[in-house]
Structure 1
């Protein structure tokens, strides 16, 4: 597993890199630049990102949010700031684990495993939400098309739906594709 380590303190970064290497992880890069997380992730494609910082500032959290949106992966923060607002903002930006207690080599492996598990669970929820939104949007398109067919063909809902379903089966396409064709046909 490849890990990107971001830490402005060289000594602390070396301790973390030594611990990670001993656990069998590969550190793809160690960088002091906390404000280029997205660029570093794009360049090196790590499996996990570990950031050790005093306190994440607004710019850093915006970069984390960009990373989480465009190239999602587990992001672990070791920080000294235990302010509730900062922690909430970090989690909202996409941080999988926010550790305040300090960096201890003996805990690194467990923290990585927990962050990966939390990240995977969050990604699964995100996928389900995206799927549900897509299905709802498709349902709305189908309902609008059904309504137009009912209006223009003077038929009931079952007949309109049956006609669209039959057409979808005959053309071997999805029902929503037929519904979109109906919407374009009646230009509404």
Structure 2
């Protein structure tokens, strides 16, 4: 299979940065060469392809195409990890790779964007909770309403060239140091 990929991938416009004879070597090659995509056979000596790509992708997520002569339910179930974007059954034809590689890379890019967006939304929610808590403290300490407390925090952030979340964290930290203030 290695010789086949060494021959066919350049014809498809892809650079083959490394070819591994076994799973351990594949992990080492991925660490050393930082590929954009991994194509791995499931049956490999030392460590099977599924275990190897799992190790690689835990360190750095990559799009993965698994290939195998086996397509039984157990093998396919093992291959259904977060990183596997395609599963090709041998024999692999040039057309299989020609269509599968760009789709796998595009899907990986889309998944990465969704994961980034989800992480940003989780962070925004955490920030919002902190800001709301700080706003409550300002309302209590200054005896003002919600809008006035928020405007006060915005003015402090603007005058000190800080983000609103930094001001909110400072307000909370101050009330934790001086317990009789705000909480």
Give the TM bin, normalised by the shorter chain.
Answer: 0.7 to 0.9
| Structure 1 residue 89: Cα displacement | 4.8
Alignment partner, residue 181 of structure 1: 170
Moved more, 91-100 or 59-68: 59-68
Please, which of 2, 26, 31 is the counterpart of residue 13 of structure 1?
2
Structure 1 unaligned runs (5+)? 1-11
Q: What is the root-mean-square deviation of aligned Cα atoms in Å?
A: 2.4
8 Å contact from structure 2 (residues 86, 100) kept in 1: yes
TM-score by length of 1: 0.80
Alignment partner, residue 151 of structure 1: 140
Q: Distance in 2 between matches of 1:186 and 1:63?
A: 50
TM-score by length of 2: 0.82
Matched, 1:142 2:131: yes
Whose RCO is larger (CA < 8 A, sep 6+)?
1
**Greater gyration radius:** 2
8 Å contact from structure 1 (residues 52, 79) kept in 2: yes
Moved more, 91-100 or 124-133: 91-100
Matched, 1:171 2:160: yes
Matched, 1:39 2:28: yes
| Structure 1 residue 151: Cα displacement | 2.3
Structure 2 unaligned runs (5+)? 177-182
Q: Distance in 2 between matches of 1:93 and 1:36?
A: 22
Describe the SS at the equivalent of 1:96: strand
Q: Are residues 167 and 85 of structure 1, via their aligned partners in 2, closer, same or farther at CA, if it must alter by over 3 Å? A: farther
- Where is the strand percentage greater, Structure 1 or Structure 2? 1
8 Å contact from structure 1 (residues 146, 179) kept in 2: yes
Q: Distance in 2 between matches of 1:59 and 1:165?
A: 56
